[in-house]
Amino acid sequence: MICEICVDSVEGVKAARDAGAARVELCASLIEGGITPSRGMIRAARSVQGIKLHVIIRPRGGDFLFSGAEFDVMAADIETAKAEGADGVVIGQLTADGVINVPRTRELMAIARPMAVTFHRAFDMTPDPITALETLIELGVERVLTSGQEASVLEGLPLIAELVSQARDRIIVMPGGGITQRNAERIVSAAKPKEIHFAALELAQGGMRFRREHVFMGGELRPPEYDRLVTAEHGIRAVMKGAH
């Protein structure tokens, strides 16, 4: 079982490596589901030896219908990830009708090679997952990340199992979304995936002694200003133990 850990920091990369994970998906802004990290973050993460590094390429949160200007940003970010030595990129874009945007996906894949390409949970927003999977296979994508088009993998297990069966050895179907220590064994037993994707986050107290609690740097959806979620090595180990 290959475990990919979703992380948003260099410390998270180290925790994943030390826990024995095979790979990380490096993101920024996990509160938005993950967007492209900076060049500096990619470079620092790449300096951590002993674990593979995949970088999400997503210029903003929200839907997966990207403008021409956003597409240009994605292309440039892929070039950056490649230049910094990433092992793979994680992409996904749809048409207004929710189907996979084949021409643009093909173009981004051409820029990405020889890096590995994962299609992320934009897949979960497609109207016909069976057809979408065949499209990704035809494109030559290595893997697809999916919650089974439900809010969590546990709810999407029937579809995930069907997709794993459909995929055979043509593409890796990687369940991700709400996998925890409590449900990992059940998910792996039911779907029999070769890879799983999860985060292992816990709340860490910030180090600031002086705090102005009523002032926020963000908008109306406010994460804690002084505390943050960090990747926990013991949390990764617990899920991996359940999955194996």
pLDDT tens, residue by residue, 12-51: 999 999 999 999 999 999 989 999 999 999 999 999 999 9
> How many whole angstroms separate alpha carbon 44 and alpha carbon 50?
14
As given in the structure block, the two tokens for residue 187 are: 């998910």
pLDDT tens, residue by residue, 172-183: 999 999 999 999
pLDDT of residue 214: 81
Q: Please state the domain extents for the chain.
A: 2-243
pLDDT tens, residue by residue, 47-80: 999 999 999 999 999 999 999 999 999 999 999 9
What fold characterizes domain 2-243?
Answer: TIM Barrel (3.20.20)
With a CB cutoff of 8 Å and minimum separation 6, the contacts of 172 are: 142, 143, 144, 193, 194, 195
Q: Is 215 helix (H, G, I), strand (E, B) or coil?
A: coil
- pTM, whole model, 2 decimals? 0.92
